[in-house]
Each structure stands twice: as C-alpha cells, then as structure tokens.
Structure 1
Amino acid sequence: MNYDDKLSEVVKAVPPSAIRKFFDLASEMKEVISLSIGEPDFVTPWSIREAGINSLIDGYTHYSPNAGYQKSKAAITDYVKRRYGASYDPSGECLITVGGSEGLDLAARALINPGDEVIIVEPCFVAYKAAVMFAHGVPVVVSTRQEDDFKLLPEDLENAITDKTKMIIMGFPSNPTGAVMTMEDLKGIRDVLQRHPDIIVVSDELYCELNYIDDKPSSLIKFEELRDRVIMINGFSKSYAMTGFRIGYAVGPRELIAPMTKIHQYCIMSAPSTSQFAVIEAANNGDDQIKLMRDEYNHRRRVVLNGFKEAGLTCFTPYGAFYAFPSIKGLGVNSEQFCERFLMEKSVAIVPGNAFGVSGEGHVRISYAASMDDIKKAMERLAEFTEQLRKEKANA
C-alpha cells in the first residue's frame, strides 16, 4: 500500500519539530550537555505534588467535568485576578486543558475557517504555524528583529492586517527569544486592534511568571476594551516546573471559550483529575516557590549572557522565559550548520533559530533551564567553538 497517498495533505505539509530533531540526536550520544529543550530542571515543589497525591488518596480517580473541576477553575481565575487584575467567571470563561499546547490547538480549530488569515509573530514557538495549518488557515508571518529587542511593533502588525485577517497569535515572554512586551509596548498593539475590532487575539503567556523586569505580568487582557476578543493561553509547566502534569488553561469571553470546550469534550474529555488538584495548590500558594526558581533562572541568565561576551557573540538582553537567542551571523555557517557541528564536535545540544521561523535564521536558541555546572561547561565550549569557526573563515 502507498501510505503517502492516504495521508492528509495538511499533515504532510507540516514539518516535524526541529527542536525534537536535535533533542533526539543528543539522546543517542554519550555525555552530551543539552540546552535544547524548554524543560525546567527543578522538581515540582513538594506541596504541589502532595496535593496531587492527596487527591488520589481521597479517591479522585474519575473523569472531571469537561471544562474542569469548579474548584480548580476558581483557583485559576482567582490567580488571574490577583496577578493580572482581570476578572473571569470560572463557570464559563475558563477551560482547563491538557497543557497550554492544547489550548492553542483548540482556539485555532474553534475559530479558523479555511482561507482565514492568521498573523503569527515570529520567531515563535513551533506549534503556532502548525496549529493554523491543521485548522486550514493561512499563516501570515510578522517578523520581529533583534534591533527592536524582538518586540512586536505596531506598524508591522498594522501592515500585515487584511480583510481576511481572523486572528493574531502572539507569545510573550517569548520562546525562543526571551523578549518581553511591557504594558507601554502593548498600548501600541491595543491601538492597532481598536482600529480592527473584529480580530481575535490568542495570547500565549505560559512564561508570564518568568519575567525579570516586572513584578506582575503584562498582558492585553489588562485592557478592558479588548476583553471581548482576547483568549489568554496559560499553564503551569514552565513557571511551576510541572511539565509532566500536562495541565494548562484558557481564559476569555464565554462566547469563545464555549466552542473550544466543545472540541475539548469530544477529543480529550477532560484534563487529568490528579493534575487539577495539584493546580489548586499551585495557583493558591505557589508564589514563593516561583520566586525561588525565577531568582535562580535570573542568575543563570547572567552567566549565559557573560558567556556570549566571552565567545564574541552579540545577544540582545532577554528579560523573560529561560531562553537566550544570540546571533551567530558572520561566522561562516548558518543556524543549522552551527548547531549540528556544535553538537558533533563539542557535545552541546542547542536549537537553530530557523526552527522558530525564517526570521530566526542567523540565531540559535539556548535554554538555561539546566544546571549551573552544565551551563558553565557549555559556555566554555561555545567560546572554543566560535574561535574555531573564526579561524576557519579567516583561512578559507
């Protein structure tokens, strides 16, 4: 049988994740330092794990309501009110999902019709374009640039909007760049959106608590005038070191959350009950643990930035998430060649910038969600490797 003829043309058109490509390569090698995956090296705080364990002891081993337990949704909306100052009704404006990625997929499938244009702010998480394509939408890329600190500029957004634009997908703090949009930055985006009142915004804020310049998250949901058309996708994987719990959420107007819930109930049924009880503890009492992890990430961030200086690489200062996105332009190799050789010759796994969109070419993503010892060793090897590349270029 020719299986290729049986596959969806859309599925065939979506490339596999380049992040996983380098992770898989590294997993087959010995003694590799991996700075390639956005996986916190912390163990989930004990009180959160204990809450999940206690739910099992208490017999919560069954399906939850489709949108999630009411007490879990209430903990999430209370957290959003406390941290963002935005109010949502847990009964209809909050959906608990299997990680933030499911929320993104649900928003795309619930709202996009074939031919709808969806603006994607790049460089970005690899799932954005795939989600649009799987929903038969048309991705329209708006590139951010290093000279603008990888922030979305209002004029760039305005220029990308057409009469076919249905949605904008943006993620700040950014994976892969570490860029942060302040509330002052977002005012310009708000002004553009007010000129186009029918456009929906899907705002991926999974790294909202990993912000090294503002005490509270910045977000479009803080603008009351945009409340009726912003869906915030968020979760607990990164900030709370809960990747294995596979738990996230979406908040937004009930008119948009309801169709997302409809798809969710047919495809997933409900998020894991154990994880939903862990979320109650995380949302209600996790602030101190977040601060401890954030402070450690901030320390590592400074070590990484200093390592780039030692290696002669330029990098804008990332103020969010746990990624840095240095430029490797001028070294005589492209992003993928740089990463392949760095892995094979120095046993350090990182990710090429073009994995996050064409505007990421000339950069590489380095995750500092790793031990300090591994980070320091990787930075030493980076300096050796870049010196080697410069010598090769000079002798070419």
Structure 2
Amino acid sequence: MEYLINTNVKNIEISGIRKFFNLVAGKENVLSLTIGQPDFPTPTHVKTAAKQAIDENRTTYTHNAGILPLRQAIANFVHSKYKLNYEPENEVIVTIGASQAIDITLRTIISPGDEVILPGPVYPGYEPLIKLAGATPVYVDTRDNGFKLTSDLIRKHMTSKTKCIILPYPSNPTGVTLTEKELQNISTELKDDDVFILADEIYSELVYEQNHVSIGTFTDIKDKTIIINGLSKSHSMTGFRIGYVLAPNWLAKHILKVHQYNVSCASSISQYAAIEALTTGANDAIEMKQDYMERRDYVHQRLTDMGIEVTKPAGAFYFFFQLDPTKPSFDLAIELVNRVGVALVPGDSFSHYGQGYLRLSYAYSMDTLRDGLDRIQQFVSS
C-alpha cells in the first residue's frame, strides 16, 4: 500500500548527515568528526533545575506557547544579548527544539506553489520542510561570495512566487556569518517586498571575534521577520529539545495554532530547566565558546599547514573545505573512512552546491581532533 503515501513524503530523504553517520557507525577504529553536537555536559545547575521540576510534580501540560516565566526569560535574554524586543505574552513561542520551530513557521507562511530562497550550501533540514509544504526551494550559489547570502544575490533570485528568505547565520556547514552592514543591506533591499525573512540563529551564542547581530533589530523589516533560536548549542541541551520562535504578534498567533495541533506544548520539565539556563546560566556559553575558539584555531592551523584552502569560521563549530574537488564528496568521504579511518560529512549533504566539499565538526575534544587531523594529514600526504 506504499503507493498511498503522500508523494511529498516519499520524495524526501533522510538527512545526508545522519545517513553517513549511520553508515560508518558500525565500522571499527573509525574516528568520527561528523555530528554537530556540543561535547560539553549540560551545566549542573540546569540539570538540578530539571530534577527539581520532577520532584515538584511540574509534569503537566503547559500553556501551548510555553510557561510565561520561560517566555519572559527568553524575551529578557534576547534583549540583553542581541537588543531584540519581543513581548513574552504574545510574541514568543517555546518549541520542541529549533527544528520544530522551523517546521511550524514554514507551514504557517508557505502555500503550495511558493518559492523559498536559501543559500547553498546549507543545513539540509530546510528543503524537506519546504517541499512538505508544497513549495519550491530556490538555492543560491554562495561559493564565490564567501558562502554568504547577501542582498544582491537575494534580489537576483526573487520572483513573483518568492514567499520567504532563509538566513541561517552563523552557518552550518560553513561557519560564516553576516556582518551588521550586510544585514542592513538586506533590510534595505527587502523593506518594500511582501516576503518573510526566517532567520535561524541557533548558533548566535557561538560567534567569535565579533558580536552576533540579529536581523530582528532592523525596524524596517521586523514586521515580516521570524527569529528561530534555542538552547541546544548555547547550553549543550540538545536532548532537552527547547527552541523558540520570535515573531510579531499578528504572525505569532497563527504560528501558535500550528504548534498547538502539532505538539500541544514543549516538555514541562525541559521548560523549567530552560528558565534556569537563560537566567542563572545566561553566560554559560562563554566558557564553551572559549574552548571552541581554541579548537577552531588549532584545526585551522593544521588544515592550512596541509595546504588546504579553508575559510576560517566566524561562528558555530564547523569547517567546510575541499580535499580533492575532482571526486564526488560521498566517494571521497568513504575513501577517508576506508584508508585512514576518519569520518567527515560529505558536502553534497548540504545541497548540490556542497559537492566536492567535506564538513568537519570541531565539537570534539582536542585529543580527538588531534588524532583526526593526523589521519587527514596521512591521507593528504599519501
């Protein structure tokens, strides 16, 4: 009876990241630098808050948008960190991770036949959601533009069908981010267009030499902008599954309807842990970020010493580079596994504009990175 399955579902595939991770997971003596998950434990005080919530029987349904103290903590956090202004009562929605936040947002704003502009290469989680909503992803080749989706490239790809622009910065897989000037140019370019801007800022706390600037601070386009964020990367809380949507009231009330019928609410236990993370632990990411910077600099130096041309990441925890652009990414990744026992994610997992590239995650210990880079150097030398 498989022919009865929704065609949109049959035509999407499991993420190339997970597909490759699962492929090499059973192999012996393979060192994996694939998954973008912080290797730090969740801060102790956050875990204590979760335990306390259980002991106090805070295990019931919550408001669909999340408990108000958490929404207030989110609003205070983003105002303090990024100068964003959102009303906790009606402009903040707590979600089950940033992925669900993206899903309910796209299902709210997209209709069949629409087009959604996004950079290529890019995190593979957007395309399936766009297609499930009946829309068409329009990839923009950013390889010759420092992997940045800037105002001029956006304008070149806009049509009468364009409904949304996705700005996923800092970027997975490239680690680049947009400057305040580049965001200002996008704001100026789009202020008179009837299009939505979806800014996935999940790595906002992991920006290095500069401060993160959110496009939500530009008043000309705030009424058409949706900010996605969460605690997975900033507080090493991937399993807690807490994300959030920030949107103007007129739009948030519609997103909330989709959220309500999708999941009812986020886990109550995780919500109470998140309050602790965003208040007492508002600066928990700083120490982690320092370690990531040291790892980034080490990996950058090692790759550069191997003669590999690579863009130094401004945020997140990934390197995106070419070892042999004449070979398909998947074939090269398999060759790395078979010859030297190191796993990197094939670049074509991030759209066809990632073909020929590999992604290395440095969300691993220095010992693991050292071993992995020794193996890559062995491969390059041979």
| TM-score, scaled to structure 2 | 0.97
Find the aligned partners of 1:42 and 1:253 in 2 and give their Cα distance: 34
Query: How big is each residue's C-alpha offset from its partner over 1:323-358, in whole Å with a ceiling of 9 and x where there is no partner?
Result: 01112245x422111111111222211101111111
Find the aligned partners of 2:311 and 2:25 in 1 and give their Cα distance: 30
Matched, 1:40 2:38: yes
Displacement of 1:207 in angstroms is 0.2
Bigger mean CA offset, 266-275 vs 256-265: 256-265
Per the alignment, residue 107 of structure 1 pairs with 105
Displacement of 1:89 in angstroms is 0.8
Displacement of 1:224 in angstroms is 1.3
Matched, 1:204 2:205: no
Contact 1:95 1:251 in 2 (8 A): yes
Displacement of 1:56 in angstroms is 1.1
Matched, 1:141 2:136: no
Displacement of 1:285 in angstroms is 2.4
Of the three residues 160, 164, 167, the one matched with 2:161 is 164
Displacement of 1:289 in angstroms is 2.1
Contact 1:36 1:365 in 2 (8 A): yes
Q: How does 1:216-295 map to 2 (within 5 A)?
A: 217-295=212-290
Per the alignment, residue 393 of structure 1 pairs with none
Per the alignment, residue 322 of structure 1 pairs with 317
Count of aligned residue pairs for this structure pair: 382
Query: How big is each residue's C-alpha offset from its partner over 1:119-168, in whole Å with a ceiling of 9 and x where there is no partner?
Result: 112211111111100111111111212x4321112211001111111111
- Residue identity over aligned pairs, in percent, reads 37
Of the three residues 65, 68, 72, the one matched with 2:66 is 68
Task: Give the partner amino acid of 1:267.
Answer: N
Matched, 1:308 2:306: no
Find the aligned partners of 2:323 and 2:341 in 1 and give their Cα distance: 18
Find the aligned partners of 1:254 and 1:319 in 2 and give their Cα distance: 32
| TM-score, scaled to structure 1 | 0.94
Find the aligned partners of 1:107 and 1:288 in 2 and give their Cα distance: 28
Find the aligned partners of 1:121 and 1:285 in 2 and give their Cα distance: 36
Indicate the SS of the match to 2:29. Answer: coil
Displacement of 1:378 in angstroms is 0.6
Displacement of 1:174 in angstroms is 0.1
Task: Give the partner amino acid of 1:321.
Answer: A
Of the three residues 328, 346, 362, the one matched with 1:368 is 362
Displacement of 1:192 in angstroms is 1.3
Of the three residues 138, 150, 165, the one matched with 2:147 is 150
Contact 1:35 1:348 in 2 (8 A): yes
Indicate the SS of the match to 1:325. Answer: strand
Matched, 1:343 2:323: no
Task: Give the partner amino acid of 2:90.
Answer: G
Displacement of 1:169 in angstroms is 1.3
Per the alignment, residue 56 of structure 2 pairs with 58
Find the aligned partners of 1:201 and 1:288 in 2 and give their Cα distance: 28
Per the alignment, residue 6 of structure 1 pairs with 4
Task: Give the partner amino acid of 1:49.
Answer: K
Query: How big is each residue's C-alpha offset from its partner over 1:57-96, in whole Å with a ceiling of 9 and x where there is no partner?
Result: 1110111111100001000011011111121111110000
Task: Give the partner amino acid of 1:38.
Answer: G
Displacement of 1:116 in angstroms is 0.8
Find the aligned partners of 2:23 and 2:307 in 1 and give their Cα distance: 27
Query: How big is each residue's C-alpha offset from its partner over 1:275-330, in whole Å with a ceiling of 9 and x where there is no partner?
Result: 10111111112243211100000000011111212322110111100001112245
Contact 2:77 2:282 in 1 (8 A): no
Find the aligned partners of 2:247 and 2:336 in 1 and give their Cα distance: 43
Find the aligned partners of 2:242 and 2:173 in 1 and give their Cα distance: 21
Structure 2 unaligned runs (5+)? none
Displacement of 1:10 in angstroms is 0.6
Find the aligned partners of 2:120 and 2:253 in 1 and give their Cα distance: 28
Find the aligned partners of 1:370 and 1:69 in 2 and give their Cα distance: 34
Indicate the SS of the match to 2:220. Answer: helix
Bigger mean CA offset, 95-104 vs 263-272: 263-272
Structure 1 unaligned runs (5+)? 389-396
Task: Give the partner amino acid of 1:227.
Answer: K
Task: Give the partner amino acid of 1:383.
Answer: Q
Find the aligned partners of 1:29 and 1:301 in 2 and give their Cα distance: 27
Contact 1:99 1:248 in 2 (8 A): yes
Displacement of 1:227 in angstroms is 1.1
Q: Give the CA RMSD over aligned residues.
A: 1.2
Find the aligned partners of 1:150 and 1:360 in 2 and give their Cα distance: 11
Task: Give the partner amino acid of 2:163.
Answer: K
Task: Give the partner amino acid of 2:316.
Answer: A
Indicate the SS of the match to 2:283. Answer: helix
Query: How big is each residue's C-alpha offset from its partner over 1:170-195, in whole Å with a ceiling of 9 and x where there is no partner?
Result: 20000000001111121111121124
Per the alignment, residue 392 of structure 1 pairs with none
Of the three residues 13, 25, 49, the one matched with 2:47 is 49
Task: Give the partner amino acid of 1:132.
Answer: I
Of the three residues 167, 184, 188, the one matched with 1:187 is 184
Find the aligned partners of 2:282 and 2:271 in 1 and give their Cα distance: 18
Find the aligned partners of 1:64 and 1:26 in 2 and give their Cα distance: 40
Task: Give the partner amino acid of 2:228.
Answer: I
Displacement of 1:260 in angstroms is 1.4
Q: How does 1:110-121 map to 2 (within 5 A)?
A: 110-121=108-119
Find the aligned partners of 2:283 and 2:241 in 1 and give their Cα distance: 22
